Amino acid sequence: MRGFGMHSVDNVGWLEKERPTIGPLDALVRPTIVAPCSSDTHVAHGGSGPKQNLILGHEAVGIVEEVGSEVTRFKPGELVAVPCVTPNWLSRGIQNFRSFSHDRGPSGSFKFVGQKDGVWGECFHVNQADPNLAHIPPDVAPEAALMTVDMMSTGFHGVELADIGIGEKVVVIGIGPVGLMAIAGAALRGASQIIAVGTRPAASRVAVAYGATEVISYKDGPLEQQVWDRTSGKGAHKVIVAGGDAATFAAAVRMTRPNGVISNVNFFDVNDAIHIAPLDWGLGMADKDIRGSFCPGGGKRVQRLINMIQYKRIDPMALISHRFHGFDKLPEAFELMDSKAPDLIKPIVYMD
Q: Is residue 29 involved in binding ligand NDP (CB under 6 A)?
A: no
Q: Is residue 175 involved in binding ligand NDP (CB under 6 A)?
A: yes
Q: Is residue 181 involved in binding Zn ion (CB under 5 A)?
A: no
3-class state of residue 109 by DSSP = coil
Judged by CB under 6 A, the stretch of 134-142, 195-203, 278-286, 305-313 that binds ligand NDP is 195-203
Of 293, 268, 267, 173, the closest CA to residue 183 belongs to 173
List binders of ligand NDP among 209-248 (CB under 6 A).
Answer: 218, 242-245, 248
* Shortest spacing between CB 295 and ligand NDP, in angstroms: 3
105-111-116-119 Cα dihedral, nearest 10 degrees:
-160
The amino acid at residue 23 is G
Q: Select from ligand NDP, Zn ion, none the partner in contact with residue 62, using the beta carbon and a kind-dependent cut-off of 5 to 8 Å.
A: none
The amino acid at residue 78 is E
Name residue 257's beta-bridge partners.
none
* Shortest spacing between CB 195 and ligand NDP, in angstroms: 12
Q: Select from ligand NDP, Zn ion, none the partner in contact with residue 175, using the beta carbon and a kind-dependent cut-off of 5 to 8 Å.
A: ligand NDP
Judged by CB under 6 A, the stretch of 6-14, 18-26, 171-179, 326-334 that binds ligand NDP is 171-179
How is 74-88 classified by DSSP, letter by letter?
--TT-EEEE-S----
* Nearby residues of 59 by Cβ (< 8 Å), 6 or more positions away: 34, 35, 36, 37, 84, 119, 146, 149, 150, 151
Q: Is residue 197 involved in binding ligand NDP (CB under 6 A)?
A: yes
d(CA 260, CA 48) in angstroms, rounded, equals 30
Q: Determine which residue in the list 30, 111, 200, 254 makes contact with ligand NDP, applying CB under 6 A.
A: 200
Q: Is residue 61 involved in binding Zn ion (CB under 5 A)?
A: no
Tell me which H or E stretch contains 207.
helix 201-210
List binders of ligand NDP among 101-160 (CB under 6 A).
Answer: 150, 154
Binding site for ligand NDP (CB under 6 A): 37-39, 42, 150, 154, 173-179, 197-200, 203, 218, 242-245, 248, 265-267, 294-295, 340
